[in-house]
Amino acid sequence: MVFACKKCKKTFRKDVEEFEESDEYCPHCDNHFVLEAVTPQLRLEVEGEDARIDSRMISNRDHRIKGEEDRTVFDVKEAPNKLG
């Protein structure tokens, strides 16, 4: 894997299969470049809709999604019977 040191701006390669504690330092300037992982805090939440769904991806006029019919003041199904 290729790393870049933020302090001396030099790049170097490390074998991550055999990663040791001494590999956490830049070989050029001995800057400690590996950040320790933070353990996530446990929390209780109510599951809802998937936040990854973007509302712009679903159009209101998508014909594959069945929704409510267009609303009108007049009863469209009974109109031909009343006019004649």
pLDDT tens-digit map of 41-70: 887 776 666 666 666 655 555 556 565 666
pLDDT of residue 14: 82
| pTM, 2 dp | 0.36
Which whole-number Å values give the CA distances from 41 to 21, 44, 51, 59, in the listed order? 26, 10, 20, 37
Closest CA to 3 of 34, 13, 20, 35: 13
Terminal-to-terminal C-alpha distance of the chain: 81
With a pLDDT cut of 70, the percent of the chain lying above it is: 52
How far, in Å, are 5, 9, 34, 52, 73 from residue 31 at the CA level?
Answer: 8, 11, 9, 37, 73
